[in-house]
Structure 1
Amino acid sequence: MINNYLRTIKNADSDLFFLMAGPCAIEGEEIALRIADRIVNITDKLGIPYIFKGSYRKANRSKADSFTGIGDEKALKILEKVGKTFGVPTVTDIHESHEAAMAAAYVDVLQIPAFLCRQTELLVAAAETGKVVNIKKGQFLSAESMKFAVDKVKDAGNDNVFLTDRGNTFGYQDLIVDYRGIPAMKNLGVPTAMDCTHSLQQPNQSSGVTGGKPELIETIAKAAIAVGADGLFIETHPDPANAKSDGANMLHLDYLEDLLGKLVRIRKAIL
């Protein structure tokens, strides 16, 4: 399903963007299914192709006592259940090459975190599973330099790859989005998405907890659609203040439908 969809995007046959959305981390089965149910109802209504997102483990944490997950197999089985229950593809991130085959048994898309987008063994291992590979652009890299990450996946025999921008490092504790990067990465011949929530992070806070500016999610998303992003990545939760990971920059689930409705109108207006 997801392979065919990405081929459609490459051929510019779809008039809407795709959406990767869900909680930052898999916190439990009930809440994952509840979030997926809400988003599936919204995206079905608006005609937006949807991929459920959830990290089975959070490997990159500032503090040693931060939440990292509920157990790899348990979380991956929840992702699998979401996909089967709602008939949607799923995406999760992997952090080391040996995780690729394990995660590929449960999900449709393997995501390479931004900090790891230069890790050759990780990219090749993801490619060799035959799954779609989503590579997040490093905060420290230019859009054009993502060509080499794409080439690593394709040279390993997998053409099902796309890129996601998540902002650029701006000083020690902030990020900024350079929207020139979206057309630059599209020019590499792959679909390109915008991560509308992680690009608003304020990392490396002295408290050890990442901050964020969720009030600007709509701004980031509107601009991304206006410059031609093929897809959007949005972390969302019914109670961001109590989410176990990245609550500071997540969109409240109650706001998602209104935002997506606006974005659909923008997309149709610029076609």
Structure 2
Amino acid sequence: MSVSHLKALFKERYNPENFFLIAGPCVVEDEALLMHVAEKVSRICERLQIPYIFKASYRKANRTSINSFSGIGDVEGLDLLQKVGHTFNLPVTTDIHSAAEAAMAAAYADILQIPAFLCRQTDILIAAAETGKVVNVKKGQFVSGEAMKFAVEKVKQAGNDKVMLTERGTTFGYQDLVVDYRNIPIMKEHGVPVIMDCTHSLQQPNQTSGVTGGNPKLISTIAKAAIATGADGLFIETHPDPKCAKSDGANMLHLDLLEKLLEDLVRIREAVK
């Protein structure tokens, strides 16, 4: 993905000297939540000159328990996601979980996100690429940074060079993840922007309760280290009341804490540059 593609994605808000941010609640819960988060984060990012992409999943197919919330309906969720983009003049992203979803989601979103568990699935990568939208592939918890070149190749060979990679930690035992920061410069060698997922990398999966745990106290640590090691962008799920969130509340950043964190990260970015 070239600089020209980033400029086109962010329009006048593109700042090549700063990192970009992908942020929002994990899943589309209702319109009020999406509008509240988008308004607050866009205001912060405009002040700090951080290019901003709004994120929310219109559907969550990869939940631990069958009883977990998965969405308000595909079209309803996508409609709200698109409405946020139009209201605040923001690019928006959502994840897809099968090749069949790609064209549908592409009609509403600017970026299609490929979940980590699906990063090797050729059909979904090709389907996403063929939409012509930006494709953000999350590195699988079981894949090395070096091996992600094959995901990039699949997207590009399908005729789409608008691809990004996201680091989100590596499986460590059954109930933890670790972040190997070598993967940031390694994946940048594939010639694409590299993003650090600061919230999912702190998940504690496979809990016997059927609800994934997390360690949000370390979000700032993950983010600061990512900027220091050259990440082009950050992915942070955020919510005004994580305890009541319908998905991934255990590892989301409280919305009230985002502004101070981003201020610190801008200073780190300036020092590194």
Instruction: Give the TM interval when normalised to the shorter protein.
Output: over 0.9
Match in the other structure for 2:17: 15
Q: Deviations along 1:104-135, whole A, 9 cap, x unmatched? A: 00010000000000000000000000000000
Paired position in structure 1 for 2:152: 150
1:233 aligned partner = 235
Question: Structure 2: which 5+ runs fail to align?
Answer: none
Identity %: 67
- Quote the Cα distance in structure 1 between the aligned partners of 2:264 and 2:36: 23
Distance 2:269 2:132 in 1: 31
Whole-angstrom distance in 2 between the partners of 1:4 and 1:261: 22
Residue 269 of structure 2 aligns with which residue? 267
Q: Write out aligned runs for 1:1-271 (5 A).
A: 3-5=5-7, 14-271=16-273
Q: Does the 8 Å CA contact 2:181/2:226 hold for their aligned counterparts?
A: yes
The one-letter code of the counterpart of 2:51 is P
Report if aligned partners of 2:9, 2:91 keep a CA contact under 8 Å in 1: no
Cα distance, 1:4 vs structure 2: 3.7
Q: Structure 2: which amino acid aligns with 1:202?
A: Q
- Displacement after TM superposition at 1:86 (Å): 0.3
Matches of 2:220 and 2:174 in 1, distance apart?
24
Contact kept in structure 2, 1:56 and 1:72, CA below 8 Å: yes
Distance 2:129 2:17 in 1: 28
- Give RMSD over aligned pairs: 1.6
Distance across 1 between alignment mates of 2:205 and 2:134: 29
Q: Is the 8 Å Cα contact of residues 224 and 268 (structure 2) preserved in structure 1?
A: yes
Please list the CA deviations of residues 62-97 of structure 1 after superposition, one character each: whole Å capped at 9, or x if unmatched: 111100000000000000000000001000000000
Distance 1:240 1:34 in 2: 14
| Secondary structure class of the residue paired with 1:98 | helix
TM-score, reference length from structure 2: 0.96
CA contact (8 A) 1:50 1:89 kept: yes
Please give the secondary structure, in 2, of the residue aligned with 1:59.
Answer: coil
CA distance in 2, matches of 1:64, 1:5: 41
- CA offsets, 1:140-169, max 9 Å, x none? 000000000000000000000000000000
CA contact (8 A) 1:2 1:108 kept: no
Contact 1:162/1:191 (8 A) holds in 2: yes
Q: Which runs of 4+ in 1 moved over 2 A?
A: 1-8
Quick one: distance in 2 between partners of 1:48 and 1:5?
13
Using structure 1 for the length normalisation, give the TM-score.
0.97
* Per-residue deviation, residues 42-74 of structure 1 (Å, max 9, x unmatched): 000000000000000000011111000000000
SS at match of 2:112: strand
Alignment gaps of 5+ in structure 1: none
Distance, in Å, in 2 between the alignment partners of 1:2 and 1:32 is 29
